[in-house]
Structures are given as C-alpha cells and as structure tokens.
Structure 1
Amino acid sequence: MSDLIELDRTREDRLVVTLNRPERRNALDRAMIDALHDVCAELEEHPRLAIVTGQEGVFAGGADIAELRDRGVAEALEGINLRLFERLRRVPMPTVAAIDGWALGGGAELAYACDFRLATPRAVFGQPEVGLGIVAGAGAAYRLPRLVGESLAKDILMAGRRLTAAEAHSAGLVHAVPEPADLMSAAHELCDRLAAQAPLALRLTKLAIDAPDAAHPAVEMLAQAVLFTDQDKHDRMTAFLDRRRRRD
C-alpha cells in the first residue's frame, strides 16, 4: 500500500483511511488515486465501514493542478478521478468523510462520494474548476445538486461560492460540525450507530438509495425479498417482540 495514505484496521468492522500528503495539502495526484483504488478493492473484498479523513488541518485541497495542466483529451476521457469516486460510492458498506480544513475541487468531490460527511468549524467546501478553465468533472455536477439543491449547487459550481462548515450543515451537506479535537470520535460514534444495524439490510438500503430513479420501486421489493429470507431479520424481530412482551 502507498505511503500516500495511512490505513488503520484496529477495529474489525471499519477501516480508517487517512490521506497523507500534507506538503501538498493532500492534493489528489495519480499516485494517490491509485492508492485509493486499492482501498476500494479491499472494501469490496472485505465489506466494512470506512472513515476517510486528512491530516494537518486539511482534508484534500483538490486535484494536483500541475498534473491537470498537462493532461489532454485522452486523460479526460479516462475519467481518472471520476472512476475512483464512482467506485468509492459503490463500495458495499457506508463511508464517512471526516473533514477538517480545506475540501476543494477533487477533495470536495471525494467527500461528496462518501455516504456521510462530518466537518469541523474550520472546514471549507468549494469548486474552483471553472476559474481554472475546466468543469468539476468528477461527480460534483450531478452529486452536489442532489445534496444541496440546484440553486446553491450552481452558485458553488459556476460562481465560485465557498461554503463554511456552518453553511454546509445548514444546506444538509454535512451531518454535524464537531470541533477538530472531537472529529474522529464523532466519526466513530456515527460508525458505531451504523455497525449496530443489520449488516445485509444496511448494504441493501445503501444500494436502494443510490439506485437510479428508473429502478424504483423494483429494487426495494427485491431487496426486501432477499432480507425476508435472512436469519438475522428473524432473530432481530424475535428479540424486538421479546423485549416488548417483557415490557407489557
């Protein structure tokens, strides 16, 4: 695994992924993208929760501009960052972005690809791509309108507006705004809540939420049919009924 990221596998039910390129504000160069593909492969092979975070008060300052400047049509059509963020979005179990400091450009798009976002008061979200002569081509153009609404998304994507953590929380982009010293404990508390749910139901709920509109309601019916055969469903419902019976 690349030294551009650090992995903490201390807890069996989750993986903590720390971006480790502080001298470049954790800019997402090709090597870091490749390292994050390896993380996705691990999460696909051994499904579990994941926390993605940064270092040195920076989540990710964007794509590596020096690399972007020299890329041409072939690299654009390869979708280097886009393919990674699409893959991250589809990993089986939920992901949490723990954001402290800058989350700009590709760094913001990395956060959007996660299922949940927590941000400290010093977090800032923005998409500077248009000012650099390109589009936000790694998911922001379609994910951000779903997350914050079309009008605000256009202000961010087209007019260069940046969101503070408080504004991002008010817009529904982030789940909570813990202090920097509490960021990781808040991320783990959220993961604890997720880990308490039925694992297969959690996976299928994520799949249903992310399914294209045309797939509904068939995807929900199929997911429910699968879960109705799951022993965990029977055990959890039996335990629920037993607890209610004892209360009555």
Structure 2
Amino acid sequence: MATTAVARLLFGRVPRVSRNLSQFSSLKFYSSQPSNYEYIKTEKAGEKQNVGVITLNRPKALNALCDDLILEVKDAVEKFDKDSSIGAMIITGSEKAFAAGADIKAMQNQTFSQTVNGRMLEGWSSISDASKPLIAAVNGYALGGGCELAMMCDIIYAGETARFGQPEIIIGTIPGAGGTQRLTRVIGKSKAMEMVLTGNQISAVEAEKSGLVSKVFPPDQLLAEAVKLGERIATHSQIIVSLAKDSVNRAYETTLQEGLRYEKKIFYGTFATADRKEGMSAFIEKRPPKFINE
C-alpha cells in the first residue's frame, strides 16, 4: 500500500496526473487553521468560512487509512459538527488518491481473536453520525476503505480521474466498513456483487451513472466545486438541514411506509422551529431569510 509498485499490483495502473493541475488551484477559498493532527489537515473554506475541510495527508502511502488517521478524521468531524459557524463539511485527499484503501501492513498479522477483541474498524461508521452534511471530494483512487469512507459521506463529488472499487477479494478478505452494504444499497445488487467478487474498479463517469457519485468535474476544479456545494447548504438553517439529512438516511434503513411516517413526523417537527417560521415569512415577504438555527 505504501508504494506505487504495491498499488499497481492490487489496484491496477496508477492514473497519470498532470503536473500542471492542482486540486488546490482555488486557494482563495481557503484559510488554514492550526491543528495538531499528524495524518490530516483541517481548514475552514468559503467566503464566510462556513465549510469545514478535512484533507487526508499520507501522500507516500496514497492516503492509506490507518487507525490513527481514522481517529483524527473522526475527531475533526466531531469538532466541525459542534462548531456553530460551520454549515457543511468536506473530506478530501490528494489529486492522486482520495484513499487507496485501509493500511494492509497494519492488518497483515492480525488474528481472528485480535480483530474481534480489538473491535477492528468499529469506530469508522461513527463518522457518518455527524448531524451536518458530509461531502466527499474524490480525486484519484477511492478503493477499499477509501471507497467506504466516501460512502459514509452524504454526497460524493468526483474528479474525472477518480476510480472507485472494493478490491479486498484480491488480498483474501472482504470489505469490513460498509462496502458490501452501502454499495449494494446505492448501485444495486448485481453491480455491487460484480465489484466485490472481482475487485474491479469503476471510473468516475460510471460511478455517476450508477448513482454512487452526484457530479464529476475536472480534477483541478473538484475541491472548489465541493466548497460551493457546502456554501450553498450552509445558507440554510442548520437544524432543518440536519432533520432533512436524517430523514433521507432513514430511507436506507426502513420500509417505504415506515419511512413515510417518519418523514411526516419530521415535517411536523419543523413547525416547532423558529427557522421554519422565518423561512416561510421571508418567502411571503419576498426577502432573504435570516436563519438563527433554532
């Protein structure tokens, strides 16, 4: 995982990336924030600094997802989620790799009892528990754990060179952080089964066609477009956005009739908020709403 040679063995040829392109070409959007993280970088983005950006930062390992990196991502997500100035979050990597998978070297000598007693991968799914929307901005490889991390987010934007896959079968195991579950719910049984059983990758275009990805952009424009999306979401009431996110997610976890009943209860609940009243009043009065997130 830590070398290009290993990446080629497991995942195919490494995509060529133009040296003239950079996913950070729109640096005017960014304001660096000091942090003590080792494997990630955190920033606030957007004209109002209301989008939290988490950048995976293990370039020599193609952003392989070791336990410490995941713990740092989890911590950063929790901090941005509690920050009232932040309306949406982005998780991204480099132009070469969002994340080329879990750290195989760290897992190689694990035994069955160690994985059970140590509750391996247990903390990963808590990333998706954030109340605020998570956007995955994926350039390059999103394989194995990288694909699973992207699917933990609420929306996926991809660069044109992005590659998605669950290649665990190639190294004698299966996905363990949602690859057989979230992928199947998003793209359907047949396509998910093909990807999981063969280890085959799909392109950004195919991922968009199958519903895994919302939109595809040139690699150097991806992050700026994800920030724009985050800024658009951040213009709305945070409490209403959180309720809407929760309601959409419920569609994956229950029957249609149960989901419809849940949606209606959430809809009724919005009428107890000041922001619902402000939103409707602003619409009738033909003025921009002034949400207070209450």
Q: Mind listing any 5+ residue stretches in structure 1 that lack a counterpart?
A: none
Partner of 2:213: 174
Residues 64-92 of structure 1: CA distance to partner in whole angstroms, max 9, x if unpaired? 111111222244334433532x2111100
Amino acid corresponding to residue 210 of structure 2 in structure 1: A
User: Does 1:134 find its partner at 2:173?
Assistant: yes
Residues 118-171 of structure 1: CA distance to partner in whole angstroms, max 9, x if unpaired? 111111011111121111010111100111111111111112221011111111
User: Does 1:4 find its partner at 2:39?
Assistant: yes
Partner of 1:197: 236
Percent sequence identity is 31
User: Does 1:213 find its partner at 2:213?
Assistant: no
Partner of 1:154: 193
CA-CA distance at 1:205 after TM superposition: 1.1
Give 3-state SS (helix, strand or coil) of 2:215's partner. Answer: coil
Give 3-state SS (helix, strand or coil) of 2:121's partner. Answer: helix
CA-CA distance at 1:15 after TM superposition: 0.9
Partner of 1:235: 278
Contact 2:45 2:227 in 1 (8 A): no
Contact 2:95 2:219 in 1 (8 A): no
Partner of 2:53: 16
Number of aligned residues: 243
Further displaced range: 99-108 or 52-61: 52-61
Against the structure 1 CA distance between its residues 62 and 100, is the aligned structure 2 distance closer, same or farther, given a 3 Å change threshold?
A: same
Alignment RMSD (CA, Å): 1.8
**Which whole-Å CA distance do the structure 2 matches of 1:126 and 1:141 have between them?**
11
Partner of 2:89: 50
Residues 46-71 of structure 1: CA distance to partner in whole angstroms, max 9, x if unpaired? 36411001125211010011111122
Amino acid corresponding to residue 96 of structure 2 in structure 1: G
Residues 202-228 of structure 1: CA distance to partner in whole angstroms, max 9, x if unpaired? 101111122220552343233223210
CA-CA distance at 1:196 after TM superposition: 2.3
**Which whole-Å CA distance do the structure 2 matches of 1:210 and 1:76 have between them?**
29
Q: Report the TM-score when normalising by structure 2.
A: 0.78
**Which whole-Å CA distance do the structure 1 matches of 2:202 and 2:122 have between them?**
22
Partner of 2:32: none
Q: Report the TM-score when normalising by structure 1.
A: 0.91
Return the structure number with greater helix share.
1
Against the structure 1 CA distance between its residues 155 and 173, is the aligned structure 2 distance closer, same or farther, given a 3 Å change threshold?
A: same
User: Does 1:71 find its partner at 2:114?
Assistant: no
